[in-house]
Amino acid sequence: MLGSLALALALAAGIGAWRSRDDADAKAEVKSSSGTAMADMPGMHMGGSHPASVTHGAPGPGVAAPPFDLRTLNGNGRVRLADYAGRPVVLTFWASWCISCRHEFPALRDLTQRSSGSDLAVVGITYRDIPADARAFAQEMRANFTLALGGDEDPVARAYGIRAIPQIYFIDRHGVIHARRFGAPSASQLRADVAAISRR
């Protein structure tokens, strides 16, 4: 009788410990996956200081912009940084799932319209997106600037150190990065950066 009771108590304790360990593992997994997802989610690092995980390894001001050669979003042609040699370039990384990109796209659309007749180039590269979704988003947002597919495993985004979006690089006429901005920029900040990279 006592032996059976002891066995039952031991089994109950074992099951309890097993459940506690599973709960702890599940919580750790949620925390880990949440942390990873949050680092890649749009609009996470919009203002103020940015975590080292977002800025580490990314080319900054005064550094030559990494070259790229990508398919256009509609698949009809290529988008190459080299083709914009001698021109100021506004380069953004975006996705259809990016909430802040819904604020950024109208600003870039207006910038493109205002810059008509100038040699300013505005280029957007998708980041971790499904091509069909990206095309639908671009159509919905009435994008009027050059768009490219980031490609498998986003090699260009890796070269630019992209971990959260939207992010915009302002590249001057010499192919040198002037500034890197996180999130949808204000109108005044956008004007200031464009003016800086447009100087001859």
For 139-196, the pLDDT digits (tens) are: 999 999 999 999 989 999 999 999 999 999 999 999 999 999 999 889 999 999 999 9
The phi, psi pair for 181, rounded to 5°, reads: -120, 140
In this predicted structure, what is the pLDDT of residue 60?
84
Expressed in angstroms, the distance from the first to the final Cα of the chain is: 94
Report the predicted TM-score, pTM, of the whole model to 2 decimal places. 0.73
Cα–Cα distance for residue pair 45/53, rounded to 1 Å = 11
In this predicted structure, what is the pLDDT of residue 152?
87
CB atoms < 10 A from the CB of 165, how many?
29
Q: Which stretches in the chain have pLDDT values below 50?
A: 1-2, 5-55
**Nearest Cα residue to 91 out of 120, 132, 117:** 120
Contact between 104 and 184 (Cβ < 8 Å): yes
Token representation of residue 162:
């992209």
Measured on CA atoms in the order 69, 150, 176, 161, is the torsion positive or negative? negative
Entry field: residues in the chain: 200
Cα–Cα distance for residue pair 108/144, rounded to 1 Å = 9
In this predicted structure, what is the pLDDT of residue 57?
62
The phi, psi pair for 72, rounded to 5°, reads: -65, 160
**Nearest Cα residue to 109 out of 139, 78, 79:** 139
DSSP state, residue 82: G
